[in-house]
Amino acid sequence: MIKKYNSYRQFKLLSVRVFLQSSLFLFICMINISCKKDVPINLQEINTKPYVLNIPNGFPYPDIPSDNPLTQDKINLGKQLFFDPILSRDSTVACGSCHQPNKNFTDNLTISVGINGRIGTRNAPSLMNIAYAPYLFWDGGNPTLEQQVFGPINNHNEMDYDVNKIVTRLLRHPTYPALFQKAFKEPPSVFALTRAIACYERILLSANSRFDDYLMNNDTNALTTSEKKGFAIFTGEKGDCFHCHAEYNFTDYSFRNNGLYSIYADSGRARITQKPSDYGKFKVPSLRNIEKTAPYMHDGSLATLADVVNHYNTGGKPSATKDFLIKPLNLTIQEQQDLVNFLKCLTDK
Amino acid sequence: MFKKNIKSAYIILAARAIVSCKKSTDTQPTPTPASQTQDLSLNMTSVADNNSINYTSIFTTDAGARYTITGFRYYVSNIRLVKQDGTEYPIANKYLLVNPAVASYDLGQVPVGNYKGIRFNVGVDSVTNHKDPTIYPSTNPLAIQSPGIHWDWNSGYIFLMFEGTCDTTAGNTDVLNMMGGFNHDLFFHIGMDMLYTPVDLSNSSFTINSSSAATLKIQANLNKLFTSVNIKTENESHTMGSVPLATKVAGNIPTMFSILP
């Protein structure tokens, strides 16, 4: 049972797919660059010091947009911007306010808080291994890390500002213009700002848990008996968690209604697609470092991992779009505890 | 093996790129001699029936409901001049972000002659709609604007953005507040690919002659946007979440426009 997943066999297929996708993307970009006379932004010579990602064992190489190769200078700049409240209207909220590194890039709040104490509508998602996400936000409404930058900046309940005004601030700043010049060979711009932050977010890779020791490094003593039992439930028919929390990052990036409610205050994916069949569906989150990212669900409504396991054990609340995989699991108290213990061994050392 | 693959892929890519470039130059129309073309501008004005619009007055819909305006902008693209024989002269890659504060929009050089009219779309085509808006220089209408006219939470442009306030009282008795608005927000953010709206003004002939730069006057009547929309109750749409209302409003867009003599 356990041996089946020994090498994340799926990765091989996935990395080929990623290669093909990135080749196609490059191809399209090359045509664009070679034919278009008015290439809007000078893309050449901005990768001063190429940065090589430290890919965790068993992970594919993520898809990096051809107009935003990773460089150390861009990453440094992106990191500084990420933790700088200069991005918010009153300079009080930074990206890092809700995505805190010591909390696996979440804030441990039910719903995140923006400027003037304004309360948003959703739980801050983790940014770890976000380089692999095929879309952003709980409902998948944004396609790239670069464009995602606008989301929290524009949102009334988050930073409530305007990216063009941020650029004006950065142009007047004593140190930022030189940092942009170094990283992009141009002054601060919307293009460069979004690229820098995305570069920093792409290097946030992690797979350094006891579970990785157990699975990838063949350290059979890395997990306790209870954790191993929990893993068996996770991957087996009984729990069937692995169905959605699949592969190296413990998500298949699908949208599903997990039966949290019968009637949702937030329609989820349906807000984007307008399809009734997407009502109440949210992206399947990664489970890596899940111990550190309480509370859980898109609205932070479940406080602990025990609550989460209990929710799935009950089979959730009925609705037309509830995923057919969500059904009563009939786990014993001990089995639920084993599952919680397993989830905690996904925490990085 | 992988390396070899990449190498050959690059060769193919480079070859394809050259081919595609050549093709695109081949298919470009033969340039018309300079004397045969003339500069054309659109003069875009906005009214509410007989009144010019502004951000301080009170306006009244054809159904008698009162409203104020705080913002009104829309994208115009896919512009085509309709020739006498019914064929179209496309003005390629031209995107206008029309704002009541700006009247004149240059379309560049077009062939002189008699035209039956003009066609365009309000909004941007689906390919452009889903491109990354950060790739444009700040002077390009498709770049991120302030205030914004691009959705980040469901990526795409807002094709037409109307913002204001409305009086939702039964007897039109509300008075303007300190901010100069009525008791209720009135906004329509119309977007999404399905609401990319064609406008056909092909029955208003005009002539472009070689002697002087041409201007085509197009008027948008905002009150037409509210035809059969009861703004006392139907007053908010981000498109997503209220598609039926957005579709109804977008359906009124073609009736807003007319060519002025």
A142 CA: distance to closest CA in chain B (Å): 5
Q: Please check whether residue A22 touches B, CB under 8 A.
A: no
The per-residue DSSP string of A207-224 comes to --BHHHHHHTS--TTSS-
B94, B152, B192, B242, best to mutate vs chain A, most A CBs in 10 Å? B152
Per-residue confidence at B240, pLDDT binned at 50, 70, 90? confident
Separation CA A162–CA A338 (nearest Å): 47
Separation CA B70–CA B186 (nearest Å): 10
What is the structure's pLDDT at A113? 96
Is B9 close to A154, i.e. CB distance below 8 A?
no
Domain A10-202: which CATH number of 3.40.50.300, 1.10.760.10, 3.40.710.10, 1.10.1040.50: 1.10.760.10
User: What is the SS3 assignment for B225?
Assistant: helix
Is A137 close to B145, i.e. CB distance below 8 A?
no
Closest CA to A92 of A116, A119, A125, A120: A116
What is the structure's pLDDT at A275? 92
B145 CA: distance to closest CA in chain A (Å): 7
Chain B positions contacting chain A at CB under 8 Å are 6, 9, 13-14, 16-18, 20-21, 24, 130, 132-138, 140, 143-148, 150, 152-155, 240-241, 243
What is the structure's pLDDT at B35? 58
What is the structure's pLDDT at B221? 98
Chain B residues touching A199 at Cβ < 8 A: none
Is A40 close to B20, i.e. CB distance below 8 A?
no
Chain A residues touching B14 at Cβ < 8 A: 30
Q: Summarize pLDDT for B113-155 with one digit per residue, the tens.
A: 999 999 999 999 999 999 999 999 999 999 999 999 999 988 8
- The token pair at B174 is 């509300």
Closest CA to B195 of B147, B161, B236: B161
Of B9, B17, B153, the CB nearest to A137: B153
Is B13 close to A26, i.e. CB distance below 8 A?
yes
Of A27, A164, A272, the CB nearest to B144: A164
Angle between helices A72-82 and A190-202 (to 10 degrees): 100
Is A141 close to B16, i.e. CB distance below 8 A?
no
Asked whether the predicted pLDDT for residue B9 surpasses 60, the reply is: no
Search chain B and give the residue with CA nearest A65.
Answer: B132
**Domain ranges within chain A, ordered by starting residue:** 10-202, 210-344
Chain A residues touching B150 at Cβ < 8 A: 150
Into which CATH architecture does domain A210-344 fall?
Answer: Orthogonal Bundle (1.10)
Closest CA to A5 of A269, A288, A212, A309: A212
Of B144, B152, B240, the CB nearest to A190: B144
Of B137, B138, B155, the CB nearest to A142: B155
At A302, phi and psi to the nearest 5? -110, 125
What is the structure's pLDDT at B174? 95
**A residues 272-291 lying closer than 8 A (beta carbon) to B:** 272, 274
Q: Please check whether residue A67 touches B, CB under 8 A.
A: yes
At B103, phi and psi to the nearest 5? -95, -40
Residue A198's alpha-carbon distances to A78, A148, A191, B156, B211, in angstroms, are 7, 9, 11, 19, 53
What is the structure's pLDDT at B153? 86
Is B135 close to A141, i.e. CB distance below 8 A?
no
What is the structure's pLDDT at A36? 40
Torsion from C-alpha of B174, B178, B182, B184, nearest 10 degrees: -120
Residues contacting residue B139 through CB under 8 Å, at least 6 positions apart: none
Tell me the mean pLDDT in the region B209-214: 94
**Domain ranges within chain B, ordered by starting residue:** 1-30, 37-260
Q: Summarize pLDDT for B26-59 with one digit per residue, the tens.
A: 445 555 455 599 999 999 999 999 999 999 999 9
Rounded to two decimals, the ipTM of the complex is 0.80
Closest CA to A155 of A118, A101, A100: A118
Intrachain domains A10-202 and A210-344 with the same fold? yes
Search chain B and give the residue with CA nearest A32.
Answer: B17
Closest CA to A271 of A142, A162, A157, A158: A142
**Residues with pLDDT less than 50, chain A:** 1-45
